[in-house]
Amino acid sequence: MLAGFLLWTAVATTTSGATIEGTSLQADMQQLLREEGWEGAVWSTVAADGSVISGAAGVSDARTRAPMLASSRVHVGSVTKTVLAVGVLRLVSSGRLSLDAPVSEVLPSLRFDNPWETTHPVRVRHLLEHTAGLENLKLSQFFSLQATTDTPLATGSGTDKGVLSVLSRPGSRFSYSNVGYTLLGQVIEAVAAERYETWMDREVLAPLAMHDSTFAFTAQSGPSADARLAMGHFEQAHPAPAVPTYLRPAAQLTTTAADMARFAVFLLGDGTVHAQPFISPELMAAITRPGDTEAARAGLPLGHGLVLVGRDRHGVVGACHPGNTVGFWAMLCVFPQHRGAFFVATNTDNEDADNERLNRRLADALALPKAAPTSASKPGEHSLSDWSGFYVRAPAPMPAIAPLQALTDFIRVDEVGNTLRLRTLSKDAQLLQPMGGNLFRADGRTLPSHALLIGDDGKRVLSDGLRSHVRVPKWQIALPALLLAIACAALVILLVLGFALALRRRLHWRHPAFAPLLACTALLLPWPFFLQQSLLQLGDRTVASSLLALLTLALPVALLAGVALGTRQWREGSRSLRAATLCIAMSLPGVLLLVAWGLLPLRLWSL
């Protein structure tokens, strides 16, 4: 306990022995900012001896070129979840809430469509561990400017309008869910009988001495402005001012590098604050320990605990949580075995940047001992060829577009000697070395990283502890992909043919190509409106999105009308008429498939 208290008080100091490393770290971070296109960054490290280094580099606002300071405040996106989770554990430790309480009992107005309700209801621990089987989020819950700082959480989670679908048996598979953590905000409000922001600031942030942090909405301008808050940025230094979000319990925390170091110190401790119990020891032991998922039962050592997720990178195993939000990216990592931690945040949400370079440099700054990779072994009792095939994500993070995602995010698994080869459309092939049983290790990992298992539903599953992919028949991917490819090619040929007929003045309103050509061309109309609106309105019902929905409704109607006209005129028709009719007919299966998937008409606000 004394050691924990000394570690706690050490956050405010930096030892002289760390000065040289601090100087080197500062220079390296500045170089990384230049090379990766980040505007600024703040960071802190907690060493095993209790010393803390906090630093900053770059600018807090690209327009004014004001320097980023170690005391600058930042938004941390989903790192917010780690602090919120500690708030839930505080309620559990004080006897006001049970981890195993069904969420529907805490929130009686909430309704789940859960096929496993009688035996496996959604419990509070499932929300914390992301194993409730809920979708991640809808487009409208993140890309929206309609949320306010006072929007009820039930509106944000969608529980005020309908039923939440449970996509996998609760507790069985990890499935990251921002909606789930918004429900946890509702749970806190139900138990505490006040806004979760107020309760978290008073009952969690204040005891942890995180006095420069708040769950309340904080912006760079307006009534919620704070001059110390850095400006967020997108690529090419485009400013990204803070906006309220529907899913604020999952992503709305304003903090500093020093405060996050204090939080990391607490996570490395014994659950006491100033020698007083705060979080029970049994809960502290579970903050990084995976729940009873299929992957954990199969032997994978890492997964999501009650607060953090296990991470195996650069020869060091720890527990981390990344986060990104409008204009910011962040990472918190703790290494309990080595009593170290780091936090870093940039005020640039740059999709092209290699954020892992920051993580690696800060892990190196802690001088953590490197672990040797686990030795390879023979595969398990099953032949690897039995597991070859195509695998798709299950459950899908966004069910509304799951069929389309399956065509681009599938994994092809092949046996290559004693190894498994994983291939995707977006990444280079990956070889997994056998670790014994049905466990495998990816290159760059020290522990088993993947498992082959038979799921609770009897299907073959490939899991890395954080994503589960279920094997599907090859035709389930090949056939839809073929139909969509034919549809795209046929529509392109139809457009070329239609415009050629129009230029020759041979296209009239009774021609089969007329209505489809008009419908396809009209799809260009919404784009000027999209270019005029903010990216953050992509999920709102705007002029642009409404026009897009209307025109994508017209497309299959126009194609059906075109093929009907072409069929009636086929015998007496010209070669161009028959060619146009054939193109329309070839495009219809793919287009109607999108209709069957619910993607036409394209209503962005419902995705």
How high is the pLDDT of residue 20? 53
Percent of the chain whose predicted confidence (pLDDT) is above 90:
89
CATH class given for the domain over 384-472: mainly beta
pLDDT digits (tens, 9 = 90+) for 220-253: 999 999 999 999 999 999 999 999 999 999 999 9
How confident is residue 4, by pLDDT bands cut at 50, 70 and 90? very low
How high is the pLDDT of residue 382? 60
Q: Does the pLDDT at position 3 exceed 70?
A: no
Q: Residues 36-54: what's their mean pLDDT? A: 94
Phi, psi of 215 (to 5 degrees): -85, -10
How high is the pLDDT of residue 534? 93
Instruction: Supply the DSSP symbol for 219.
Output: B
More confident site: 40 or 23: 40
pTM above 0.75, yes or no: yes
Q: Does the pLDDT at position 474 exceed 90?
A: yes
How high is the pLDDT of residue 296? 96
Percent of the chain whose predicted confidence (pLDDT) is above 70:
95
CATH 2.40.128 placement within the chain: 384-472
CATH class given for the domain over 2-365: alpha beta
Q: Where are the alpha helices (DSSP H) in 245-366?
A: 248-251, 257-268, 281-284, 294-297, 356-365
pLDDT digits (tens, 9 = 90+) for 545-562: 999 999 999 999 999 999
Q: Residues 144-162: what's their mean pLDDT? A: 93
How confident is residue 12, by pLDDT bands cut at 50, 70 and 90? very low
- As a whole number of angstroms, the distance between CA 564 and CA 130 comes to 50
How high is the pLDDT of residue 381? 56
Q: Residues 429-452: what's their mean pLDDT? A: 93
Nearest CA to 449 among 300, 299, 298? Answer: 300
Please give the C-alpha separations between residue 4 and each of 30, 50, 331, in angstroms, as whole numbers: 33, 9, 23
How high is the pLDDT of residue 161? 82
How high is the pLDDT of residue 14? 45
pLDDT digits (tens, 9 = 90+) for 571-587: 888 999 999 999 999 99
Residues 6+ apart with CB under 8 A from 423: 411, 412, 414, 429, 430
Q: Does the pLDDT at position 21 exceed 70?
A: no
Residue with token string 């415009």: 499
Q: Residues 586-601: what's their mean pLDDT? A: 97
DSSP 127-153: HHHT-S------HHHHS-S---TT--H
Sign of the torsion formed by the C-alpha atoms of 14, 17, 21 and 24: positive
How high is the pLDDT of residue 1? 42
How high is the pLDDT of residue 573? 86
How confident is residue 15, by pLDDT bands cut at 50, 70 and 90? very low
Q: Residues 275-282: what's their mean pLDDT? A: 96
Q: Residues 477-485: what's their mean pLDDT? A: 97
pLDDT digits (tens, 9 = 90+) for 493-503: 999 999 999 99
Q: Does the pLDDT at position 257 exceed 50?
A: yes
- As a whole number of angstroms, the distance between CA 448 and CA 450 comes to 6
CATH 3.40.710.10 placement within the chain: 2-365
CB atoms within 10 A of CB 600: 17
Q: Does the pLDDT at position 6 exceed 60?
A: no
Buried b / exposed e along 556-576 (16+ C-beta atoms within 10 A): bebbbbbbebbeebeeebeeb
